[in-house]
Structure 1
Amino acid sequence: MKLYVGNLSYQMTDADLESTFAAFGAVNSAKIIMDRETNRSKGFGFVEFDAKEEAESAIENLNGKEVSGRSIVVNEARPPKPRTNQGGRGRF
């Protein structure tokens, strides 16, 4: 089960994110989304668990809690919306 984690501190790393969620079970992956141009955190990320029960426990215990000075948002990740604008470059 994949979780969306929002309102993260911009200084938080993937390892910090993983250790925050490891208390609730085996984390498959923890990834903070970075801006391609500035290589800085966008303030959100995703954490993936194998067991649905572990993910639900993490949501229940961490949603709204303060982590690194910020009240984080944790919920089940929704599938990405299909992109319609591919580059925006117009025709020649």
Structure 2
Amino acid sequence: MSKKLYIGNLSYNVDEGALNALFSQYGAVESVRIITDRDTGRSKGFAFVEMTEEADGLKAIENLNGTQQFERSMNVSVAKPMESRGGSRGGGGGFSRNRY
């Protein structure tokens, strides 16, 4: 079990302060991060909340998952580790030309 929680189906209008206040009812919150679009800065509708204690994270999941919060039915679960997207970010395109 991790202390980091995934919050899905989140209202686009909610801010980090409101999420912090909601999750603080179940224990100490270390961090709140709403994921935003890189180009527009608008919320993508999900966030991550990190609780100080694992037991508090479980309490938050039990009490908040599937409940109506901020005008939407929120999904709250344990966050999965970020997967590697693979590949390099360099240019080049993977094509080489031999010149003789």
Q: Which amino acid aligns with 1:51?
A: E
Which residue pairs with 2:44 in the alignment? 42
Match of 1:28 among 23, 27, 30: 30
Larger Rg: 2
Secondary structure in 2 matching 1:23: helix
| Letter aligned with residue 72 of structure 2 | R
| AA in 1 matched with 2:25 | A
Task: Report the Cα offset of residue 85 of structure 1.
Answer: 4.0
Q: Is the 8 A contact 1:24 1:55 kept in 2?
A: yes
In 2, the alpha carbon distance for the partners of 1:15 and 1:34 equals 15
The correspondence of residues 9-28 of structure 1 with structure 2, limited to 5 A, is: 9-28=11-30
What's the TM-score once normalised by structure 2's chain length? 0.85
Is the counterpart of residue 76 in structure 1 residue 44 in structure 2?
no
Give percent identity, aligned residues only. Answer: 47
Report the Cα offset of residue 63 of structure 1. 0.2
In 2: Cα distance, 1:80 partner to 1:12 partner: 24
1:91 Cα offset (Å): 4.9
CA RMSD of aligned residues (A): 1.5
CA gap 1:12/1:50 in 2 versus in 1, 3 angstroms: same
TM-score between the two structures when normalised by the length of structure 1: 0.92
Instruction: Say which of 67, 70, 73 aligns to 2:69.
Output: 67
Letter in 2 for 1:40: R
Cα distance, 1:30 vs. partner?
0.8
Are 1:30 and 1:48, in contact at CA under 8 Å, matched by a contact in 2?
yes
